[in-house]
Amino acid sequence: MYAIGSKKNLLNNELSNGYYETVSDLLENEMVLKMKNFMQHGNTTTFQHCVNVSYYNYKLCKLFRLDARAGARAGLLHDFFLYDWHTHTKETGDHFHGMTHPKAALKNACEHFTLSDKEKDIILKHMFPLTITPPSYRETVVIVLVDKYCGLIETAAHLLSKISGNLSSAAE
Of 66 and 105, which CB lies nearer to Fe ion in the complex structure?
105
CA distance 131 to 114: 24
Minimum separation from the CB atom of position 78 to Fe ion (A): 6
By C-beta, is 67 or 147 nearer to Fe ion? Answer: 147
User: How far is Cα 52 from Cα 43, in angstroms, rounded to an integer?
Assistant: 13
How would DSSP label each residue in 10-62?
TTSTTTTTTHHHHHHHHHT-HHHHGGGGSEEETTEEHHHHHHHHHHHHHHHHH
Residue 45 CA: distances (Å) to CA of 121, 151, 170: 24, 11, 29
Q: Which is nearer to Fe ion, 13 or 34 (CB)?
A: 34
- Residue 154 CA to residue 114 CA, distance in Å, equals 30
Q: How far is the CB of 160 from Fe ion (least distance, A)?
A: 20
Strand partners, 41: 44
Instruction: Write out the residues near Fe ion by the rule CB under 5 A.
Output: 79, 147
**CB 165 to Fe ion: min, Å:** 26
Q: Please, which residue, 67 or 79, has the CB nearer to Fe ion?
A: 79
Provide, rounded to whole angstroms, the least separation between the CB of residue 117 and Fe ion: 19
- Least gap, CB of 63 to Fe ion (angstroms): 20
Count, residues in the chain: 172
Of 68 and 106, nearer to Fe ion (C-beta) is 106
Comparing C-alpha atoms, which of 139, 121, 142 is closest to residue 131? 121
